[in-house]
Each structure stands twice: as C-alpha cells, then as structure tokens.
A and B are shown apart, each in its own frame.
Chain A
Amino acid sequence: MRYLSRREAISKTTAVILVVVIVVAAASAFILLRGGILPAGPSPAPTGYAQVTIGNVTLTVPASFAQFVEKAKKGEVSVKIYFGLAHSMEERPAFYSVINMFKNEYPGIDVAVSEYADWSTMQSKIIAVTTFPKDQRAAFIGQAPDVFSWAHDWIGGMADAEYIIALEDYIGTEAVSQISEYIIPVAMTAVTYRLKTYGLPYAGEALAIYVNTELVSTLPATFSDLKAIMEQFYKPAEGTYGIAGELAGMYHLNAWVTAFGGYFYDPALPPETRLAINSTQTKEGVKFFIRNVLRYMDVRDLSLVYQRKLFGDGKVPFYISGPWDIAYVKDKLGLGNFTVIPYPKIDDKTPRPWSGFRNLYISVMAEAGGIERTYASILLVLYMALNDNAIMEFVNRNGYVPVKTSVAAYVEAHTGENPLYDIIYGFYKQVLVTKPMPNDAAMQKVWGADTYFQALWSEYATALGEGLPEDQAAERAVSKVDDQLNAAQEEILGKLGS
C-alpha cells in the first residue's frame, strides 16, 4: 500500500473541508431563509411574538396566532365557527353582510350564523353548554355560538361564571393595549371586567333627544328653552304632548339624576356609598323629572312602541331615545326633518345619561374543538371591531354609532354627504362624555329597583285619571318619591348583601 503523497493528502482534505463548508452553508441558509428569522418586515418583535394587521390596525400577538391568521388568509386552514345573532330582525342583514366580507378576506374560515329569538334564548344555550366539563363540550359545537354580539352590562356575571373568554389569555396584554389606542376609552372600559378584556365594542349608544325640526324651528339650547316648547305643545285635549320617551326605570332617569349630582350605583365607590338610590341628590333629580318632564308626557302607555309612535305621528316635538330608533324615525319623518341633540343643560348642571355598548364576545364554546376554532373566533371579533369597512357597513346599514376613532373621524368629515352621519355623530358626541352602565354582576340586582319607579308614574297617572290637574298630580307623585326611593334602597341593599 502506498501512502498518499503529500499533494494528494492536501487536496483530499481540502475537498472534504470544502464539502463540509458547502453543506453547512447550504443548511444554514436553508434554515435561516425558511424559518423567516431574516427580518422581512418592520421592527423586530419580542421572541414568540409576531405582527398581525387587521384593517388599519397592527397588533403584536403570539406567533402561533399570527401564523394562524396568515394561513386563514391564504385558505390553508379549514375551520368552522358559529356566530350567534339575537338582535332585532331589521338589524340582522348587516351582520350577514359583514360576515361575508370576513369570509372573503379569510377564506379558510367558515362562519355559520345561528339566529336566536332573543337574548335569553341565546344566553341559555351558552349557559347550558357550560354545565358540562370542558372535555365533553366538543359534542355541542354548533348548538351554542362561539362568537356573539350583545350589550355590555352583562359582562360581569358572564365573566365571573366563566362563560366568556378574555382576549388577554390568547393574544396577550400587549395586543389589547394596542387595540385600546384605536377605540374610545369609555367603550374599552365597558368591555373590561376585573382588568381583563372580554370582547370588543363595535357600537355605542346613549339616550339623547330627537327633535322634529318641522315642529321646532330653533333648537333648545337650555332646559328652560326645552320646557317652554314642551309647554307650548302640551295639549292633551288635542292629542299633542310636550315630550315622549320610554320609561322603564332607572335607565331612562339616569341623565336627570346625574344632573343633580346623584347616581344610582357606582361600583368604584366604597361599599357604604356605592348604592345611592335614596341620596338627596338622586331624590332631587327624580322630583325634577316628575315636575318638569313627566308632567308633559302622555302617561297612558309608557312603552317604547307607543311613545315613539307619538313622535312618529308628529304629536310631540321631542323624543328621548337612542340610536336604535334612527331607522323608525327616518322612516316616519324623513331624513331631513329631524335631528338629535344631547340633553340640554339645566342652569349649570349637565345631564349625563348612561351609555351602553354593543360588544362581540367569545364564549367558552370556542375553546372546544381545537385551538384553531378559538383563533378563528378571536379573529372574527378583531375584524368586526377593527376593520373600518366592516364598521362602516354597520353605520350605513343600521345607523350604529361607531366607537373606533378613525371611523368616527370619517363620519364627522362626511356629514355633508349623508344627513344620517350628522345624527350619528350627534350620538357619538353624547357617548363620549357618558359613564357606561356598570357591568358588574351586582348591577343585575340593582335593576330590580325599577318597580319602585314605575309605582311613581302609576301614582301620577292615577292622580290624572282622578281628574287632578297636571301640576297637582305631579305633586302627589313627588310626595311619594322619598318613601319609594328609601324602600328601594333598602330592598336592593338587602339583595346585595346576601
């Protein structure tokens, strides 16, 4: 055997080294390029996180979620989720339209809409599923919605019972705080419970005053202006009244009560002062309302349908309601013949109604059947609340008041083009300075006090029926305010304490 000559040895070694180098280089390039570690986009994200863009919003989310979004966009996944709809019939087509937009953008996700008769039916379905342990829930997919839309004041109870999931658990606190920058603060607080975010708001509402501009030429700037006009129009013998509005209870009274510095329930305050149904200021507000507003109303029927019909038929110049009646009023009076103003000031006091928000929630149902369903549900929620086109669809079709600042800005800029935008922006301004209805579970018990207030208008109506003139009848009702509110406070305190 002969030894390799020196030259041969060197070339062999070189060859080996060359091969090794080439292999290693190829492998690393392969790994580097495929893994996407080579930065292709903007700022480097913290480890395990990636960027996701929805509409004009960019969020920093866990990488797995970002990857899912990518795949859904390309149609590389196949997931089916269920959207629960319990709003009124006229509102539903807009949801279908937005969901179609979503499906077009994310072809990998199929969204089936489940329609429910009303909120309690939908809620019972969700609750029914949660009575089963987590591993048994997959059998119910489709029977309860994964994503649904509803008002915000139920959040506390549902979150406590773990019927709905918090966004932070899946997309992290960073993403949530980024989202907060695009949405008005009061709306974000309405959807937050115990520091966790249980969905996203996409529409807001608050009571304001509709004005029939055919009947009223100058918009009232103060309450005394309002009162003078109401006085003018209040002629029950001829069938016209001063003002109309649904009166169920505290929800409709809140603006007047806050004007006098009163409030019904504020969870931020210490327990002794939290419930203030019978505080002096609250009582004053209620008495003011009876003497100066109720006195000009048609109290034979205080339901929504009856009261708004008075406005629709041109029998009252003012109507206290929210954006949900835009469609009806538009239909009856015509777009150019009405406008919306916030509650006018009473001397130096500003009435501030409660605001309510429409939110998109994710039920625990979405956690069954695999993480992809959860991600798909979250994506749907993000899309509907953050994509300006989707939100505008709601604004245009249903007259919803947006809570995303960019959409509100668009609406404001285009009020000239579409008179509806003027109305919507009016509501938007009112919402900005409101407090949202408390969303904690205790609030549900507080609503029970409504019966005490209903007893007050009953008293007024009975007095009228006995032939008393309005002011005397009002005084009779006013005389009962103290006792009623004291009794209400006692009863609710008892319920809260238990």
Chain B
Amino acid sequence: MASRPISRKVLFPTRVALILVLPSLILYLFFNIWPMIFSIGVAFTNADRINILPNPEKIQDLKNAISCAEYLKTSTERREKAVDLLHRVDSILGSLEENLTEIKALLDTNSSWSQIEPYVNNVMRLSTKIKSIPAYVGEVFDCGKLGYPTKIVLIPGDILDKLNSLYTISSRIPMLYLANEASELYKDTTTGLNLTSEVRGFFNKLETNYEGYLDEVVKSNKEELDRLELKYVGFENFERLRRDPRFYNSLYKTLLFVATSVPLKVSVGVLLALFYSTPLIYGRKALRALLLVPWALPFLLSAMTWKFLSLPSGQMGKTLGININVNEWHAFLVYNLFEAWLAYPFIMTVTMGALSGISKDVIEASMIDGAGVRTRLFKVVFPLIAKPVTLAAILTTGASLQAFLVPLVINGAGPTGEIYVQGVGSTVGPKNEMLIVFGYNKIMIDWEYGYAASLYIVVILIILIYVSIWFIASRKMR
C-alpha cells in the first residue's frame, strides 16, 4: 500500500515499546542474571559448603569464645581456680594412665587373662568420667556469666579430639576384654597411653603456663573462624583447572561428543524427513506423527527407558553385547544413540518445514529439465533447505556442547577409572565426564563451589567462542 512513509517514531512510540518489553526483561534479569553474576563472582573465591552460608550462631560463638579467653587471661581469680581444675581433670586422666599402664604390663608379660579384669573395670568407669571434663572446664571458665555466651568449651580443638578418642578407646576396652581380643586390646591400650600423656601434658599448662593454655584456645578458635570465612583467591581456581587432568578429559570427551553426535542427529533427522516425504509411502502423515514421539515424551521417561535398555542385562545391552558399566566407549556409543533419538524430531520438523516451503514448481521444472532423482536431491532440494537445517544444526550443537543429563542418567558419566593426560598428570574419575557433568560432580560430591564456578566460566567462554564463530560465518553467508 503506497503511502507517505510515516515517521516510525510517531507511529510506534518508544514509550509503548518499553511498556511492552520491560516486564519480560525485568523478570529475566531478576531470576537469571543475578545467579550468573553470583556464579562469576564465586569463581574467584574458595567457596565450599562450609563457608558459603555459615551459621551466624557458630560465628558468634567462636568470637565470644575468643573474647572470653582473652579476658580470662587477665583474671587472677580464675587463675587460682584453674589449679583446682587441673587437679580434678588430672585425677581422672592420671587414674586412666595408671590403669592402662597396668593392662599393658600384664599383656606384655602374657599374664592370665582374668588378672586384667579389675583394671578393665576401672577403665570402664573412667570412660564416663572423661565426658564430664568439659563441664568442669565450663565451671571455672564460665564465659556465659562473664558476658560472652557461647556453646564452645574452652579446650583447644585438637585436645578435645584427643579426649574424645580417649573416651572411645576406654569404652571399647571392656568389650575387647570380654571378646578375648588380645592384640586389639594391646593396640588400643598403647594408643590410649600415648593420648593420655599428651593430654595430661597439655592440661598441666593450667598451672605452669596459664596464659599459654588460653592462647592455645584462642588459636584453635581463630583457625576455625578462618575456615568459615569466604576468601577471595583470585585466579587460583583457574590455575588449578589448568593442572587438572579431569578438565582436559572432559573437554576432550565433550568435543568428541559434539563431533560424533551432531552429524548423527542431523543426518538422521534429514534422512527421515526426506524418506517420509516421498509420495511413495502410504500413511506418511501418521508415520511422521509417530516419529515425533521422542520429542513429546518427558525427559525422565526417556532417560530411564534408555537406561534400562542399555544395562548389560537389558535388551539393548545384551543384543549389542555392550557393557556400559565397564567399557567407556560402549557407554559413549549409547550416549550418541540416546542423544540422536532425543534430537532428531527437532531436525526432522525443521527439515519438513523447509521442504514444504519449496514450491512444487521448482521441482517440476527440474523434472522437466530431465533431472534424475539424485540430481533433484542434491542440486535442488539440498541447497533450498540448507539454511534452516544449518541453523537447526547450530542450535543442536549447543545442546551437545552442554551435554549433562544424558551421560549422567545413563551410567553416571561412565565407568570410573584412570584418567591420564600427557603433560598434565593422571587422576581417577568417571571416564565419560563431560564438561558440565564435571562441574556438577564438583558441586554435588566435592562441594567445591568456587572451583566448579571457574569451570563454568570456562565453559561459557567456549560456548561464546562457538557462538561468535557462528555469527561471523552467518554474516558471511549473507
């Protein structure tokens, strides 16, 4: 309709455009951009499960414990009470040491078993007493009353661990005695003696080096506080990635997967579209609809079906004689088949759409010109459907690059085995671990969020490179 060209701006004011576009944009920004920014940020930290969302109560307890200990260093009253505390604690530990020494001696001299009994009984009684030690410490170093409420008892972490081991060992000794386990009993007694003397030596500080004792407490709690802190580590994660054989393996496997699955997907899709478009087949429409089934099924359904089928005891496993639990390439083959099965309907639809766009005139003209079936196919049809099919291929390549659910569901990304990369080193891991699966494992199994985030950034960069290649190429095509 010829008319005076009206200024675009008047006809379609920007104001209205913004009203139309903004809601979706805001929605997208809110729910998708923040996570992306967060992920990028995390890659430069040492984020893991412990320090990404620490318990504020725990942090407060640690800080209070530290302040309390610092304050107590100056308290003469507590210093005096500390000596009493030492005596109480030492009586338990000393008694334990005595009894353990006796047991060891009796075992050394191969004495009769029943002679050990009274000492074993003593040890049993002492085991529950050990558990009261924190309470005794709490009575003297009563941080709550001093204004520093905390659940943490003022004993350094490693000493607490040793005390706990002592408790465990002394609980176990009576059982070993009853079961006549001489060598186990000897081992535990020896370990127990070592631990007891170490712990006693430490508690002596309450008398000999009061500040030293509290300094140890402060140091131990500061270390824990440090571990709970999210720290900026610069490019350390990327450095680590560079030296990780699993990264190179995943890169290799992913690219290989793209190289094998994309041609497979596209050719299957195009071939099926061509095959089911010839007028030489009855019931084309019904068959085509049937072929679109993989697209319609929810992923969960397809995934488990393929998994059941491809197990070494499953139908496909047995027919093809493959074992996806043992051979990584068998599993790789199954990934390709499954991926092709999932993706071909898309390619097929696009191809059919493109085919329907080719006007009959063109085909008839070529037929009149005496072109045979083959010439018709290659010289007429293919060029006309090339563009949409290429675009579809590009889209589906992106899907292959980001393969994640397919390897994961079929067999957890391949049998576990040695991964060796020349020049980098070797390690052990799932052999078919593709890039995204690698990141997923790092998050779910190792809880190394920072490291996984750095991997994801690398993946995004790879995809961006890929997309820009496509852009440049498509520009050139125009």
Contact = CB atoms under 8 A, between A and B. Distances in A.
Interface stretch (B107-115, B128-136, B286-294, B343-351): B128-136
25 contacts: A130-B57, A131-B53, A177-B132, A184-B175, A185-B171, A185-B172, A189-B172, A193-B164, A194-B164, A195-B130, A195-B160, A300-B313, A300-B326, A301-B313, A306-B313, A350-B181, A433-B176, A451-B429, A455-B418, A458-B326, A458-B416, A459-B417, A462-B326, A465-B326, A487-B428
Given A268-B169, A462-B327, A133 B57 contact: yes
B179 A432 contact: yes
Given A194-B160, A451-B428, A268 B57 contact: no
Closest 7 CB pairs of A and B: A268-B165, A185-B171, A454-B416, A177-B128, A189-B168, A131-B53, A162-B58
A192 interface: yes
Interface stretch (A86-94, A168-176, A211-219): A168-176
Contacts of A364: 57
B462 interface: no
Contacts of B179: 432-433
Contacts of A176: 131
A458 B172 contact: no
Contacts of B132: 173, 177
B94 interface: no
Given A186-B175, A300-B325, A268 B50 contact: no
Contacts of A465: 323, 326-327
Interface residues of A, number: 58
A133 B56 contact: yes
Contacts of B55: 130-131, 161-163
Interface in A416-452: 432-433, 435, 440, 448, 451-452
A455 B428 contact: yes
Interface string B175-195: 110010100000000010011
Nearest to A303: B325
Contacts of B195: 268
Given A192-B164, A268-B195, A301 B172 contact: no
B160 A268 contact: no
Contacts of A207: none
A177 B50 contact: no
Nearest to A269: B191
Interface string B138-182: 000000000000010000010011111101110110111001010
A433 B167 contact: no
A127 B167 contact: no
Q: Counting chain A CB atoms within 10 Å of each CB, which of B61, B132, B133, B174 scores highest? A: B132
B58 A161 contact: yes
A188 B171 contact: yes
Q: Counting chain B CB atoms within 10 Å of each CB, which of A185, A186, A302, A487 scores highest? A: A185
Contacts of A432: 175, 179
Contacts of A487: 426-428
B98 interface: no
B311 interface: yes
Contacts of A459: 417
A436 to B, nearest CB: 8
Contact of A301 (B128, B133, B311): B311
B161 A194 contact: yes
A227 B171 CA distance: 35
A300 B167 CA distance: 43
A492 B406 CA distance: 30
B312 A301 contact: yes
A132 interface: yes
A484 interface: yes
Given A301-B325, A433-B179, A491-B427, A177 B131 contact: yes
A162 to B, nearest CB: 4
A48 interface: no
Contacts of B325: 300-302, 461
Contact of A189 (B53, B171, B174): B171
B57 A195 contact: no
B415 interface: yes
B223 interface: no
Contacts of A299: 326
A134 interface: yes
Nearest to B187: A261
Nearest to B56: A133
A168 B418 contact: no
Given A185-B171, A440-B161, A455 B311 contact: no
Contact of A161 (B50, B169, B311): B50
A329 B174 CA distance: 34
Contacts of B426: 487
A397 interface: no
B127 interface: yes
Interface in A130-155: 130-134
B446 interface: yes
Given A192-B131, A195-B134, A268 B58 contact: no
Nearest to A445: B446
A291 interface: no
B56 A132 contact: yes
Contacts of A300: 312-313, 323, 325-326
A32 B92 CA distance: 40
A364 B194 CA distance: 36
Nearest to A452: B428
Interface string A249-268: 00000000000000000011
A462 to B, nearest CB: 6
A125 interface: no
A281 interface: no
Given A133-B56, A268-B165, A451 B61 contact: no
B128 A180 contact: yes
Given A161-B50, A448-B446, A192 B167 contact: yes
Contacts of B311: 301
Contacts of A131: 53-56
A184 B128 CA distance: 13
B441 to A, nearest CB: 10
Contacts of B326: 299-300, 458, 461-462, 465
Contacts of B167: 189, 192, 195
A195 B428 contact: no
A339 B416 CA distance: 34
Nearest to A300: B312
